[in-house]
Amino acid sequence: MTERADFLTLVRSFIIDRVYPAEPLLVTGGPAATACMTELQQRARDSGLWGLPLPVALGGGGLELARYAPVAEAEGSSDYGPTALGSDLLLDATMLDQHGSAAVQERFLRPMVAGHARPSFGMTEPEVSGSDPSGLRTVAELDGDGWVIRGRKWFTSGAADAAFTTVVCRTEGAGVPARRAFSLLVVPTDTPGYRIVRDLPVLGARGGHCEIALDDVRVPAEYLLGPRGGGLAVAAQRLALGRTLRCLRWLGQTARAYDLLCDRLVRRHAWGGPLADKQLMQQHAFDSHVDLAAARAMTRTAVDCLVSGADSAVAVGTAKVVTARAFAAVVERAIQVHGAEGLTDDTPLARLHRTARSARILDGPDEVHVQSVARRLLNLHQGVSPTRPASTASVAARK
């Protein structure tokens, strides 16, 4: 296998030479954008860069997370990089490989890794707090040899061109605790009753998020992922890896904004000299360097926890908040030093700004992660298990 340094060089060149120039077309959507992405994906295959983190047994490159992390940052410098290189399939490939039945793996996993079937994941619902899965209303009932699903999902990424959607739904009665009440079911998007209600523009841009309806959708019983009632545990595994991958990709985009900022300061002249000579502008460069370095350090800590199998909740939650905030701050400064040009589509900064703003909400808003991490830190400070209520532990300690 090619060494990591070579992968980094090749991926960086692919993103800069192939993906960056295609972004203005890709962002428009439609048949032309689809054809462009298909061409990029074929070029990635021809270059030996397709699916680098996917299992070798499934046709991927087998690059484990520790070695893939810097590559993920490089390819993530464009929103379209992971899709062009096939690495955006990692979450679904891992989930279906570890928890899917033989039927699921044959029908969905193998075609997906080969690039012939796009996945999507439906968890969040309209009018339900996405950070509190216990309130999810989509239900599935076992009827003979299949499941019948009723409900709605939104912010279902990639649903518009997906071959299937993995749906989180309640399969157990109201009295069952949430941690044992939900299951994951794989739903082919051509199943009767599956319907895309609308595309969901994010801050005015169409980015592949959809609202879907599931009206008495019937799927075989063998399309259940993992154990019945164990859906939230499987989803939690997916989220831990997913949040870390997002952080790595946001780092790539943060670094891109930082480079644009510094390049502007060096090249732009005003008031008798380059902007780089102005102290307030130097502050922008310094603060952005610090934000990027801190976010990279926290994300690498999260990667280390996932690789070692250690409890990753604190590291991943912290990385998610720190990286999203750093991303937003660096892009904001880059726009500021570009002046009016930074508000236009003449640079990628407007697109980066939309992604950066959504980063503080996607995969859990900052406030939820701050509360969760703080609670764990304070419980650990008191010698309390992170998963055990502090009040119960305090009583036990006094006995």
Identify whether residues 237 and 274 lie together within a single domain: yes
- The answer to whether residue 283 scores a pLDDT higher than 60 is yes
Q: pLDDT-based confidence at 387, cuts 50/70/90? A: low
- Any idea which of 232-241, 248-257, 364-373, 385-394 has the lowest mean pLDDT? 385-394
Q: Which domain holds residue 205?
A: 119-225
User: Are both 44 and 71 inside the same structural domain?
Assistant: yes
Q: Are residues 73 and 157 in the same domain?
A: no
Among 65, 98, 131, the domain boundary falls at: 98
Which letter, b or e, does each residue of 14-38 get, where b requires 16 or more Cβ atoms within 10 Å of its Cβ?
bbeebbbebbeebbeeeeebeebbe
Q: How far is Cα 158 from Cα 51, in angstroms, rounded to an integer?
A: 18
Task: Say what angle helices 231-267 and 90-99 make with each other, to 10 degrees.
Answer: 160
As a whole number of angstroms, the distance between CA 145 and CA 156 comes to 27
Is there a single domain that holds both residue 254 and residue 319?
A: yes
User: Does pLDDT of 163 surpass 60?
Assistant: yes
Residue 125's CATH number: 2.40.110.10
Residue 296: pLDDT band by 50, 70, 90 thresholds?
very high
Q: Is residue 105 part of a domain?
A: no
Q: Is residue 372 part of a domain?
A: no
Q: Is 158 domain-assigned?
A: yes
Q: Is residue 31 part of a domain?
A: yes
pLDDT tens per residue across span 96-107: 999 999 999 999
Task: Give a yes or no: residue 32 inside a domain.
Answer: yes
| Token output for 238 | 């997916």
Instruction: Confirm if 162 and 189 have CB atoms less than 8 A apart.
Output: yes
pLDDT above 70 coverage of the chain, percent:
94
Residues 371-394, mean pLDDT to the nearest whole number: 70
Residue 386 pLDDT: 58
Q: What is the pLDDT of residue 355?
A: 93
Task: With respect to residue 156, please indicate whether it lies within any of the assigned structural domains.
Answer: yes
Asked whether residue 220 is assigned to any structural domain, the reply reads yes
CB 166 within 8 A of CB 124: no
Clarify whether residues 263 and 329 are in a common domain: yes
Report which residue type is found at 324: A
Domain end among 98, 130, 162: 98
**Pairwise CA distance, residues 147 & 165, whole Å:** 15
* Helix (H/G/I), strand (E/B), else coil: 172: coil
> How many independent structural domains does the chain possess?
3
Instruction: Read off the pLDDT band of 385 (50, 70, 90).
Output: low
Q: Could you tell me the CATH number of the domain that includes residue 72?
A: 1.10.540.10
Q: Give the burial string for 118-137 (b: 16+ CB within 10 Å, else e).
A: bbbbbbbbeebebbebeebe
Single-letter code of the amino acid located at 351: R
Share of the chain above pLDDT 90, in %: 73
- Say which amino acid occupies 58: L
Residue 397's pLDDT is what? 34
In the chain, DSSP assigns E strands to 119-122, 139-143, 146-157, 164-170, 182-188, 194-202, 205-220, 224-225, 269-270, 273-274
pLDDT value at position 272? 82
- The pTM score is 0.89
Angle between helices 279-308 and 231-267 in degrees, nearest 10: 150
Please name every residue paired with 170 in a beta bridge, in sequence order, or none if there are none.
139, 182
Residue 391 in domain: no
Tens digit of pLDDT for each residue in 302-320? Answer: 999 999 999 999 999 999 9
Q: Examine the domain organization and report whether 243 and 359 are in the same domain.
A: yes
- Over residues 83-138, the pLDDT tens digits come to 999 999 999 999 999 999 999 999 999 999 888 899 999 999 988 876 777 889 99
Mean pLDDT of all residues in the chain?
Answer: 90
Say yes or no: 30 and 152 in one domain.
no
Last residue of a domain, one of 225, 248, 275: 225
What pLDDT score was predicted for residue 195? 95
For the stretch 235-269, pLDDT in tens is 999 999 999 999 999 999 999 999 999 999 999 88
Both tokens assigned to 103? 């039927």
pLDDT on residue 390: 44
Query: Residue 399: its pLDDT value, please?
Result: 33
Q: Are residues 40 and 60 in the same domain?
A: yes
- The answer to whether residues 145 and 243 belong to one domain is no
Q: Using CB atoms within 10 A of its CB, is residue 172 exposed (0-12), middle (13-18) or buried (19+)?
A: middle
Between 272 and 190, name the one with better pLDDT. 190
Same domain, 261 and 159: no
CATH number of the domain residue 321 falls in: 1.20.140.10
| Together in a domain, 136 and 192 | yes
Q: What is the pLDDT of residues 134-156, one digit of tens each?
A: 889 999 999 999 999 999 999 88
Q: Residues 252, 352: one domain?
A: yes
How many Cα atoms occupy the beta-carbon half-sphere of 81 within 13 Å? 26
> Quick check: 1 pLDDT over 60?
no
Cα–Cα distance for residue pair 153/356, rounded to 1 Å = 23
